[in-house]
Chain A
Amino acid sequence: MQEAKFEYLLRLGDNALVLSQQLGAWCGHGPALEEDLALTNVALDLLGQSRMWLSYAGEVEGRGRDEDGLAYLRDGGEFRNLLLVEQPNGHYGDTVMRQFLFDAWHQHLLAGLGRSSDPRIAEIAQKSAKEVRYHLQRSAGLVVALGDGTPLSHERMQGALEQLWPYAQEWFESDGVDAWCAEQGLAPAAPTLEAPWRASVEAVLARATLPMPDHVGHQRGGRQGIHTEHLGHLLAELQFVQRAYPGAQW
C-alpha cells in the first residue's frame, strides 16, 4: 500500500505547487507593492513545501522520479490537487478569498500531519505549519479589511465567497487513499477537519460582515485527477520549458 502513501503525498505536493504557481502570476501585477511582495513570498513558501512533499513522494514511489520529474512531466490527469487551488486568480478579492479558505484548512491539516506516524511527514508538516501561520494571519486580515470595507469591496468579497464555496468542500470527503492513510496514523482523516475549519472560517467571516453561503452540493474530483479546465492552461505555462527542452538546466 505504498501506492496510497504516494498518492497522498502527491495531493500535498500538488496543492502547494499549483497554488504557488497561481500566486507567482501576480508578480509585478499586485495592487500595491506590499501586496505584490507578500503574494510572491507566500508563493515561495508554498513552492518550498511542494519540493519537500514531491521529493518524498518520488522516494516512496521508487521509480526514480524526483521532484522535478513529478512537477514538470506529469499531465493534468495525473495531478492530485484540489479544485479550489486551480480556480482562476480573478480579481484581487478572488485571490484573497481563495487563499483564506485554503490557509484555514491548511493550518488544521498541517497540525494533524505534524503528529503523523511517519517521521518524515511529521517534520515537513511541522516546518510548513510555522509558515502557514503567517499566511493565514495575512489572508484572514485581508478578508476582514475588504469584507468590512467599502460597499464595493464588500460586494466583491461576498461574490468571491459564493463562487469559491462549492470548491472548498471536497477536502472533507474520505476516499480509499485518505482512509488508509488515516488508519495507518499517517494523516488526520479528512472529515475530522471540517468542524475546526468551519469554526475558523465562521469567526473571520463574521468579523468581515460576510454571511456564510448556504449552498448544498459541491464540486469534487481534483484528488482523483478530474480537474476543471483551468489546470491545463496553468500546467502549459508551468511545464513549458521542460517539455520544449527536456532536461534543460540553468
Chain B
Amino acid sequence: MSLAAATRPSRDQVLAWLESVMDPEVPVVSVVGLGIVRDVVWHDTRGEQAGAGMGRLQVIVTPTYSGCPATEVIAQSIRAELQLHGVDMVEVTTRLSPAWTTDWMTTTAREALRQYGIAPPVGPAPGRADGSQVIDIASLLSTRDRPAVPCPQCGSTRTRLLSQFGSTACKALYRCNSCLEPFDYFKPH
C-alpha cells in the first residue's frame, strides 16, 4: 500500500458522508438512500499530479430518469460535500447500466419519504430490468391489478390514481378517498 492510500478515508466513511447529500427535489432522501450513488473508487494519482495527497476519488452515480434536471446539481453537491471532508480530487462519473430502479431505495429512505408526505413505491419495479419485456396493454390498463397505495397522511388504502405524472417524472399524483387529501406517489421504476 502506498503512503497516499494509507491516509484515504474508507469506502464506508465516504458513503457515510454522502448520506448527508440530499436529493435537491426530495430534500429528505439522500443520494445514497435513493440508490443514485453506485460506487466510490480510489485512484492513484502518482505521476499524474504533484502533491496529489490521498489520490483521486471517483464517485459513480446513475441518473434516476434520463431527463432529470437534478443530475448536475447532485454531482456538484457531492463534490462540495467531499471537499468539506478534505477530499479535493473528486470525479463524478455517470454509469447507465444497470438502469436505476426504485428497488435500490433503502428502507430508511422509504420511511423518510412517507413522513415527508410522499407515498414510497409499493412493490418491485415493473417489467424486466433490461426493458426487454414488452408491455401487456390489457394488464397495464386494468385498475384491478394495481397495488393499493396507502395514503401517507392517514394510512388509508382507499386511494385513487389521478395522473401517472405528478410534480416530477418520478412521481404520480394520487388522491385519498378517506381524508380527501391529494398526495404524490413515488412510482416503482
Contacts and interface: CB of A to CB of B under 8 A. Distances in A.
Given A41-B165, A138-B164, A140-B141, A115 B132 contact: yes
Interface of chain B, helix or strand or loop or mixed?
loop
B68 A134 contact: no
B162 interface: yes
A130 B162 contact: no
B90 to A, nearest CB: 23
Most buried by B among A34, A129, A204: A129
Given A41-B169, A107-B134, A34 B162 contact: yes
Contact of A48 (B67, B98, B130): B67
A34 B141 CA distance: 18
Interface of chain A, helix or strand or loop or mixed?
helix
A119 to B, nearest CB: 8
Contact of B165 (A38, A46, A51, A107): A38
Interface size class of B (residues with CB under 8 A): 35 or more
Contacts of B101: 130
A144 interface: yes
Contacts of B135: 107, 133, 136-137, 200
Interface of B: 63, 65-69, 96-101, 125-127, 129-135, 137-138, 140-141, 162-169, 173, 187, 189
Interface of A: 34-35, 37-38, 41-42, 44-49, 51-52, 107-108, 110-111, 114-115, 119, 122-131, 133-134, 136-138, 140-141, 144, 196, 200, 203-204, 207
